[in-house]
Amino acid sequence: MKVAVYERDNGQRGIGVVEGATIRDLTQWVGQSQQCLLGAYIEKAQAERPPIDGEQLSIDEVKMLPPSIGANAIICVGVNYAEHARLVAERTGTPQATEDTAPALFLKVWSSLTGHNQPVVRPAVSDWLDFEAELAVIIGKKCFAVPLAEALDAVAGYSIGQDGSVRDWQRNLPTPTAGKNFNRSGALGPWMVTADEIPDPATLRITSKLNGKTMQDAPVSSMIHDVPALIHHISQFIELTPGDVIFTGTPAGSYADRGNSQWLVPGDIIDVEIPGIGVLSNHVVSS
């Protein structure tokens, strides 16, 4: 099942199940949550089956929002694919990330993300906007200190992330926070695919295309820290809640991995595809 969060022309947010080119609205059933509509849907759907009726909306007639918008946390993992980690180590002269090193984590705010078919914004203060395709994990229950063997039981579903990074600000030490949180520099979507459709996320493959040219292409199985390991680690210190998102890292192939000679420009189109989930598409504009 695909669950999408959207905005109508009047600015009202809604949630529903995607059926082809339409969304079957379930907003009234879920209730208008003041925080995360998807989190409210996840909790209610665990208690009762969603109704099979509801207003049918064309996807083209609504603004797609990040499916988990308003959740408590967006936790992101850096240098989590082997080849990308090798390139980062060569570029920076730092030790290469391995299974024996802890995941490199940072946080994002919701204003840094936009939805499917919405523009990502190159900020006025930098031309160094880069793309990063990611598998996004959406948490399905309140949990803390999750045992490794039970980690996938905490997952409600999966989405696609594009962690837009303003590289010069990201590299302005001591932390990457600024470069990872520019307004609408990244994206999440187009929806959440429920975990029952993806029993093992390690079987997925992630690809990014820039203006139709493949830039990144890797199996999710080449992660250094896989999805269960990330949930187990993060939940040791953060109590995760329904709708929380984990961006699991990006494969090699971003502009930074290609030598910093080129960056995203207005008019570029970024498509991130994970078969079994869908395609997240965004175009670049100037702020």
Position 253 scores a pLDDT of: 97
Look up the pTM and report it: 0.97
State in words which class domain 74-286 has: alpha beta
Position 23 scores a pLDDT of: 97
User: How do residues 158-209 score in pLDDT, each as one tens digit?
Assistant: 999 999 999 999 998 788 999 999 999 999 999 999 999 999 999 999 999 9
**Positions of CATH 3.90.850.10 in the chain:** 74-286
Q: Is the pLDDT of residue 21 over 90?
A: yes
Q: Is the pLDDT of residue 106 over 90?
A: yes
Q: How far is Cα 266 from Cα 283, in angstroms, rounded to an integer? A: 8
CB 243 within 8 A of CB 68: yes
User: How do residues 37-86 score in pLDDT, each as one tens digit?
Assistant: 999 999 999 999 999 888 999 999 999 999 999 999 999 999 999 999 99
Of 91-95, 106-110, 166-170, the least confident: 91-95
Mean pLDDT on 269-273: 98
Cα separations (Å) of 195 from 2, 145, 259, 276? 10, 20, 37, 11
User: How do residues 229-258 score in pLDDT, each as one tens digit?
Assistant: 999 999 999 999 999 999 999 999 999 999
Of 174, 32, 164, the closest CA to residue 111 belongs to 164
User: How do residues 28-46 score in pLDDT, each as one tens digit?
Assistant: 999 877 789 999 999 999 9
